[in-house]
Amino acid sequence: MNKKTARLAFIYCSILLFLFSCKVAKQSLKNFEYPTTVDTETRKINYQIKQTYQMHGISVSNQFAGARLNDFIAVNDTLFQAIISPENTPINPSPWYAFKLWSDQPKSIHIELKYTYGFNRYTPKISSDGNEWSVLNENLITKGKDSTSVFLKVNVSKDTLWIAAQEIEDHRKVGMWIDSLANSSILIHNGNAGVSVQGRPLYFIDIYDKSTIIKPTIVILSRQHPPEVTGYYALKSFLNTIVEQGGENGFLKKFRIMVYPMVNPDGVDLGHWRHNTGGIDLNRDWADYKQQEVRNIANHLVHEVNKSKNNVILGLDFHSTWEDVYYTMDASGPSKIDWFTPLWFQSMEQKITGYDINESSSGLGAPVTKGWFYQQFKAEGITYEIGDRTSRTFIKQKGQVAAESMMKVLLDNYDLVQKSNK
């Protein structure tokens, strides 16, 4: 190619790029009204006292990130009460607990998990190091006289025993995973979307090949609610798959993935049941952005989208609940890619033998992310829920298949994706 031809080609491509970029309307962060209004003004929370309790040769501590233990009482030398209270009320009954203990002498003891609000939800997990976890044998768990307590039988010694509602994935551990992900691939670009109220960084992961400019964009969130670790595990599998396959199959040449993997780092590290340090469920603040974490992430997202002239087509928010379910938009809000979800679900069912998607559709009822993705961008919004007790092996498989199916459906229908800009 001679210089004249190359220059003409450059001018032609620049004109096409300009014309295409004009199709993507500049976004501004908007406030929205929903049929169900939620007051998200900051409310007072009750901080647990960080300390090590010592009695009858037993030591129990909540002095670590992610801990939740409000009091520890000796009934006798082998029966103890672990008092578990939420950060404030009213609150969703997701009673998180986490503490570690050791003993001067090896012995078996009983611990009553006593909830001052709500009821037992999570099957206890145990660990010898706070990193590798297993489920406590069900034969060692006994229900109390009512739903406010449950009894555990454990063996203690001079070696530390960790007990928690779910595996502890605190802010530091998530940061280490993000760093390892970024070090493994040139497709990963990590940064922050600001900080939380207590100054913890709001992690941001940007996944793309070579450029972010004028790419249809998928936005992903996780950990708005601190105890929802299974949803976070699904997110990890989902992203690992995109990074491993998205470069080779061409997906990341055409699409951008923007990820905010820990929306509520303060709540996670403080061992909260549901809320941030403002005492608010962050997944009810996607209308007026009164809480710093939501406001910072929403502003960062809109700024990034405008800077790169992106068309946000899909928003996924990873959560945990009682069972695996996808909360989707109903027909009252047709999105830019309203054809996507049925094809995505069909592809997943074909890839996992005997798997039937559990879908629950609703409209714009409350200020949650599913509706916000639609309101702000007219994007398809989906809440990806994983059950509290779902097998970790299946979580990983499902996350992988979900990512593979999403990439295939969007690549196979790329002409329809491009039309969504118009």
Q: Indicate which CATH number applies to the domain containing 263.
A: 3.40.630.10
- Give the end of a domain, one of 147, 164, 181: 164
Q: Do residues 392 and 260 both lie within one domain?
A: yes
pLDDT at 2 over 80: no
What band does 5 get if pLDDT is binned at 50, 70 and 90?
A: very low
Query: Cα 11 vs. chain centroid, distance in angstroms?
Result: 44
Average pLDDT for residues 331-345, to the nearest whole number? 91
198 and 302 fall within a common domain? yes
Same domain, 312 and 355: yes
**Does the structure show a pLDDT above 60 at 326?**
yes
Whether residue 20 is contained in a domain is answered as: no
202 and 316 co-located in one domain: yes
Q: What is the mean pLDDT of the chain?
A: 93
Give the per-residue pLDDT at 421.
Answer: 78
Structure confidence at residue 19 as a pLDDT band (50, 70, 90): very low
pLDDT of residue 24: 58
The answer to which of 130-144, 149-163, 408-422 has the lowest mean pLDDT is 408-422
Question: Is pLDDT above 80 for 194?
Answer: yes
Co-location of 115 and 261 in the same domain: no
Residues 156 and 298 in one domain: no
Q: Are residues 298 and 157 in the same domain?
A: no
**Mean pLDDT lowest among 17-31, 90-104, 136-150, 331-345:** 17-31
Number of domains in the chain: 2
What's residue 331's pLDDT? 77
Contact between 278 and 42 (Cβ < 8 Å): yes
Whole-prediction pTM:
0.93
Q: Indicate whether 309 and 382 sit together in one domain.
A: yes
Question: In the predicted model, is pLDDT for residue 226 greater than 80?
Answer: yes
The answer to the question of residue 132 being in a domain is: yes
Residue 100 has pLDDT above 90, yes or no: yes
Whether residues 142 and 209 fall in one domain? no
pLDDT (mean) for 88-115: 97
**Does residue 7 fall inside a structural domain?**
no
pLDDT at residue 422 is higher than 90:
no
Burial label, 25 (beta-carbon count in 10 A; 0-12, 13-18, 19+): exposed
Last-in-domain residue among 123, 138, 164: 164
Per-residue pLDDT at 332: 72
pLDDT at 266: 98
Together in a domain, 59 and 115: yes
* Residue 87 clears pLDDT 90, i.e. is over it: yes
Per residue, what are the HEC states of the chain? CCHHHHHHHHHHHHHHHHHHHHCCCCCCCCCCCCCCCCCCCCCCCCCCCCCEEEECCEEEECCCCCCECCEEEECCCCEEEEEECCCCCCCCCCCCCEEEEEECCCEEEEEEEEECCCCCCCCCEEECCCCCEEECCHHHEEECCCCCEEEEEEEECCCCEEEECCCCCCHHHHHHHHHHHHHHCCCEEEEEEEECCCCCEEEEEEECCCCCCCCEEEEEEECCCCCCHHHHHHHHHHHHHHHHHCCCCCHHHHCEEEEECCCCHHHHHCCCCCCCCCCCCHHHCCCCCCCHHHHHHHHHHHHHHHHHCCEEEEEEEEEEECCCEEEEECCCCCCCCCCHHHHHHHHHHHHCCCCCCCEEEECCCCCCHHHHHHHHHCCEEEEEEEECCCCHHHHHHHHHHHHHHHHHHHHHCHHHHHHCCC
Residue 96, domain member (yes or no):
yes
Beta bridge partners of 381: 315
The more confident residue out of 332 and 15 is: 332
Instruction: Kindly state the average pLDDT of the residues 292-313.
Output: 98
Q: Are 111 and 152 in contact (CB under 8 A)?
A: yes
Domain boundary residue, one of 125, 140, 164: 164
Q: Is the same domain home to 346 and 310?
A: yes
Mean predicted confidence (pLDDT) in 389-417: 98
* pLDDT recorded at residue 147: 86
Strand-pairing partners, residue 361, are 328
Mark whether 212 and 356 lie in a shared domain: yes
The per-residue pLDDT for 15 is 36
- The answer to whether residue 263 sits within a structural domain is yes
- What pLDDT does residue 23 have? 54
Domain-located, residue 6: no
Evaluate whether residue 389 is within a structural domain.
yes
Question: What is the residue range of 89's domain?
Answer: 52-164
Residue 408's pLDDT is 98
- Per-residue pLDDT for 395 more than 50? yes
Please, are residues 328 and 385 in contact by the beta-carbon 8 Å criterion?
no
Residue 160: CATH number of its domain = 2.60.40.3120
Q: Span 144-164, mean pLDDT? A: 96
Q: What is the pLDDT of residue 11?
A: 38
5 within some domain: no
